[in-house]
Chain A
Amino acid sequence: MNYAVLALAGLALNVSVPARAAENIQTPGPPPGIEQNEDWSPDAARVAGWIAGSQDNRKLPYAIIDKKTASLFLFDAQGKQIGRTPVLVGIALGDDATPGIGGKNLAEIGPAEKTTPAGRFVAKFGLAAGNQKVLWVDYATSVALHPVPKGTKKERRQERLRSPTSDDNRITFGCINVSLPFFTRNVRPLFQKKGGVVYVLPDIKPVEEVFPRLRVQPFLTGE
């Protein structure tokens, strides 16, 4: 009986070691210099680690948008975290944009097309309809980062942004909305001059499919 218990304990030890090692590869903590008390999702931490390790931002400020937790993490050109804020994203789940959607009016966009596409985007400030100054994330598909618009009463955008849960933050046509103070105090000063890079994490696709260099990063850095 005692031998059986010992044998099972030994087996458990053998099994748990590789499982923990695999977990470490998949879910590293936030990279050095990034606030440890933030509740980073494993994918966001992984992408942040990759950007910091490879300096993929090319000396430009950058933002990581985690659609699943409706969060935006903002960094300066040196990779120092400037802040974190809740965001509103496209109401439809999905990581691609319908071809030609950039030329459509809002009324022509179908419910399934209201996605915030995932990927790496070189973003620049520019003017949108109504002389609105926005950070164009993907000009071709008309995805921009801008302060929360008034929207309709039914949409309750401000309330959704303020609510503690991220479950109600999917409401836009595909754009990324942040609060006006965060936009004017943090995003605009950082991105206005030279633009920056915006990394949008996927809803459905595996994160390595959207950021393929994540696959090779551990080998290149010898981690």
Chain B
Amino acid sequence: MSPTFMKLAPAAVILAGSMGLGGCATKGFVRDQIATVNQRIDGLDTRLQTTDGTAKQALAEAQAASGQAQNNTQRLDQLNGRVDSVEQRLAEKQRRARN
């Protein structure tokens, strides 16, 4: 082995070691990070459940409103027909269609 290599070998070993160790995270650090992420997921899950509940309630209300609107339309249809018939009977002369 050359003397130059012998001189540089310890420095290379120290450098490699420090780089390797520097990239590792401690177990405690990882646990802290996971705990933070879990906390965020729990928060989001709660919010999602609330939103889901609101959406379901809104859908139920929309369905009820739609049913009510349908009933109203039905009544309006009947009333319109009656009004038109009365108007036609009362008219002095036949109405001219807008050709």
Contact of B98 among A56, A144, A213 (CB under 8 A): A144
Task: Determine how close the nearest CB of chain A comes to the CB of B71; give it in whole angstroms.
Answer: 11
Chain B: how many interface residues by the 8 Å CB criterion?
A: 21
Assuming the contacts A106-B99, A130-B94, A219-B62, asked whether A139 and B87 have C-beta atoms less than 8 A apart, the reply is: yes
24 contacts between A and B (CB under 8 A): A101-B98, A122-B77, A122-B80, A124-B84, A126-B84, A126-B88, A127-B94, A128-B94, A128-B95, A130-B94, A136-B84, A140-B84, A142-B97, A144-B97, A144-B98, A146-B97, A149-B99, A174-B98, A175-B97, A177-B99, A219-B59, A219-B62, A220-B62, A220-B63
Asked whether A128 and B69 contact (CB < 8 A) given A122-B80, A139-B88, A220-B62, the answer is: no
| Chain A: minimal CB distance from B59 (Å) | 6
CB distance from A212 to the nearest CB of B (A): 8
Interface SS of A by simple majority: mixed
Size of the A side of the interface (Cβ < 8 Å), in residues, is 40
* Residues of A126-150 contacting chain B, CB below 8 A: 126-132, 134, 136, 139-144, 146, 149
Q: Tell me the complex Cα distance, A216–B65, Å.
A: 10
Known: A58-B77, A124-B84. A129 touches B66 (CB 8 A): no
- Cα A124 to Cα B77 in complex, Å, equals 11
